[in-house]
């Protein structure tokens, strides 16, 4: 018998100390979703607020899905196979309420379409994880997670930057 806390989905685990900042994750993501290199519409983005500290930011599939709950048009749903947030572009009006409700600041509007974009885990085989592991960085790993573990990662990237900087710089 499974409780809600035992429900497993996929999740991209990030080891911030291993991210080189190469941004190839952004390149392969935009190629997969847009058919061209266009990092601005990548569903993952690497933030570097302090030189040498690179923070990959993407959807954490929060167990309570605040983005889905906040969407006034019901344009967001959960892929039952992967746990990823799925966007129904025909319902999305680009209002941005889901973007504001995301604790990880992982959703954004597509600059050409005006619809929200978010990591869909590439259907269970994320290209970002593939390229990162192929290059040997292993800053991104696809893991099976319990529904509530990712919430610890679902915090503002600025706060993550500060925590990583304190760890690395002894602050």
The partner residues of 59 in beta bridges, in order of sequence, read: none
In this prediction, residue 8 carries a pLDDT of 63
- Domain harbouring 112, CATH code: 3.30.70.20
Q: CA 70, CA 102: separation in Å to the nearest integer?
A: 9
Residue with tokens 């929200």: 116
Domain encompassing residue 110: 11-164
Is 1 a domain residue?
A: no
Range in 35-44, 54-63, 68-77 the model is least confident about: 54-63
Phi (first) and psi of residue 33, to 5 degrees = -90, -25
Is 170 a domain residue?
A: no
Is the pLDDT confidence value at 148 over 60?
A: no
Over the stretch 42-67, which tens digit does the pLDDT of each residue have? 999 999 877 888 989 999 888 889 99
Is 78 a domain residue?
A: yes
Please report which confidence band the pLDDT of residue 165 belongs to, taking 50, 70 and 90 as the band edges. confident
Q: What pTM was computed for the model? A: 0.83
Residues 6+ apart with CB under 8 A from 111: 40, 41
In this prediction, residue 12 carries a pLDDT of 92
Is 119 a domain residue?
A: yes
Nearest in space to 65 (alpha carbons), one of 104, 28, 39, 35: 104
- Integer-rounded Cα radius of gyration of the chain: 16
Structural domain total, the chain = 1
Q: What angle do CA 30, 35, 41 make, to 5 degrees?
A: 30
Is 133 a domain residue?
A: yes
Q: CA 80, CA 87: separation in Å to the nearest integer?
A: 14
Run of H or E residues at 14: strand 8-14
Range in 3-7, 11-15, 74-78 the model is least confident about: 3-7
In this prediction, residue 149 carries a pLDDT of 58
Is 3 a domain residue?
A: no
Is the pLDDT confidence value at 4 over 60?
A: no
What average pLDDT does range 13-31 have in this prediction? 94
Is 171 a domain residue?
A: no
Residue 117 zone, left/alpha/beta (φ > 0; ψ -120 to 50; rest):
beta
Is 113 a domain residue?
A: yes
């Amino acid at each position: 018998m499974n409780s809600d806390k035992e429900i497993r989905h996929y999740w991209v685990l990030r080891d911030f100390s291993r991210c080189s900042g190469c941004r190839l994750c952004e390149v392969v993501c935009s190629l997969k979703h847009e058919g061209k290199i266009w990092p601005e519409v990548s569903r993952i983005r690497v933030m570097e607020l302090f030189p040498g500290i690179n923070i990959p930011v993407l959807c954490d599939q929060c167990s309570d899905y605040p983005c889905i709950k906040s969407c006034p048009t019901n344009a967001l749903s959960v892929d039952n196979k992967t746990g990823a947030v799925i966007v129904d572009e025909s319902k999305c009006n680009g209002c941005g309420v889901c973007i504001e409700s995301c604790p990880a600041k992982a959703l954004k509007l597509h600059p050409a379409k005006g619809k929200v974009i978010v990591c869909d885990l590439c259907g269970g085989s994320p290209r970002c994880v593939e390229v990162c592991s192929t290059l040997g960085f292993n800053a991104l790993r696809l893991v099976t997670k319990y529904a509530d573990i990712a919430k610890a990662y679902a915090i503002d990237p600025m706060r993550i930057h500060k925590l990583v900087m304190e760890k690395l710089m002894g602050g």
